[in-house]
Amino acid sequence: MIVLTVLSGVLAGCGGSEGTRARTAALPTASREPVQGGASSSPVPESEPPVPARGPGGLTPVFAGRAHGSAAGGADKVVALTFDADMTADQGPRAAAGEHFDNPALIASLRRLKVPSTVFMTGRWAQEYPVQARAIGNDPLFEIANHSFSHYAFSSPCYGLPTVAEAEMRGDVERAFTAIRRTGARHVVPYFRFPGGCYDDAALKALAPAGVTAVQWDVVSGDAFATDADAVAEQVLDGVKPGSLVVMHCTRSAAPVTDDAVRRIVPELRERGYRFVKVSELMHG
């Protein structure tokens, strides 16, 4: 296991499933197509992506993976790998200077390994890399979820991130959906991940009218700012249980060893009998 730094917390969230509560919402629509790639691919439900029932007080629901139960016969041995495509609203000059917030090699590996995945994308990332966003969002192997437009915090303190005003939270999320859909991406699901994983009841209340389900995790990969792919892989392999939801990243500059780690994680989990699914299938149960 590796120790997460404060910097990694900005990308990897608030130390795992801290503060997670089960609540709910409605949603924008998402088209569904069967995943290509044989028995190792995730079956996709024909219905719209599932959303939990609205929680106490009508707050936005929070989902962090299935309850860990018996995996007799491997029936429950599913795991969702999720990847945050982070870029904050003020990082345009850094991208213009040559910093890479994308990771095409990682996406290529997921395709080659036939791993159904959910990419949590900021609106600013979609604006910077519209061709990649469209390709990811039109590949039935993937689904795109919302990671805010700005990648600013929705509660404070949150690892030094600037904070979105409560009155602007819903607009920030809707602006991200707009930016993602403008790329031509079609497989867009009504799920939202709080930047840094930080939220409170005020944020859940503010987002309820946006019709999203907040998605956290129960396994932190530790890939943010990591330089040792084996350490990242070990952290995931040690943490995964049937029904787990893993948070990783799709940003070369801030998570440079994720591709290498994934190429070890995937075959080892498959050897253990795990099947990879998107968040929508994990939520579907």
The reported pLDDT for the residue numbered 55 is: 65
Per-residue model confidence (pLDDT) at position 52: 72
- Are 13 and 48 in contact, with CB atoms under 8 Å apart? no
Given this model, what pLDDT does residue 50 score? Answer: 77
What is the pLDDT, as a whole number, of residue 47? 57
The confidence score (pLDDT) of residue 34 equals 33
Q: How far apart are CA 277 and CA 279, in angstroms?
A: 7
* pLDDT value, residue 51: 75
The span from the CA of 250 to the CA of 121, in Å, is 9
Which residues of the chain have a pLDDT value below 50?
Answer: 1-10, 12-46, 70-74
For residue 165, which amino acid is it?
Answer: A
pLDDT on residue 69: 56
249: Cβ contacts below 8 Å, ≥ 6 apart: 11, 12, 83, 84, 85, 86, 103, 221, 223, 224, 255, 258
Predicted local confidence at residue 75, as pLDDT: 52
pLDDT at 30: 36
Determine the pLDDT at residue 67: 79
Helix axis angle, 258-271 to 229-239, nearest 10°: 40
